[in-house]
Structure 1
Amino acid sequence: MASKNDVRGTIKLRSTAGTGYTYMTSKNRRNTPDRLTARKFDPRARAVVEFREER
């Protein structure tokens, strides 16, 4: 039997500020095959920066 989250995979969003801070989230790989970007708060840089999906 297939698992419930077959298509939905866990991804890691890494900060572009160079601090090494990451967020863990999930996305539907069938609907969004390209890399995900999001503007989130980086506590090490103390600013809102862009986070990109790491593979």
Structure 2
Amino acid sequence: MARNEVRPVVTLKSTAGTGVTYVTRKNRRNDPDRLVLRKYDPVAGAHVPFREER
């Protein structure tokens, strides 16, 4: 069975510099660039942008 190339697993890393990460999937056809989502960082105690790592 082939891996799903359209929706790969990506790691999101906090821009607050705390080292917190989230793991999610993205659609390459809709979001070909690096994904940026605003999520909760428990170390910072606030919602901060999380950027896709490669």
Q: TM-score, normalised by structure 1?
A: 0.86
Give the alignment of 1:1-55 within 5 angstroms. 1-3=1-3, 5-55=4-54
Q: TM-score, normalised by structure 2?
A: 0.87
Unaligned runs of at least 5 residues, structure 1: none
- The structure with more radius of gyration: 1
Unaligned runs of at least 5 residues, structure 2: none
Off by >4 Å, runs of 4+ in structure 1: none
* Identity over aligned pairs, percent: 67
- RMSD over aligned CA atoms reads 1.3
How many residue pairs get matched? 54
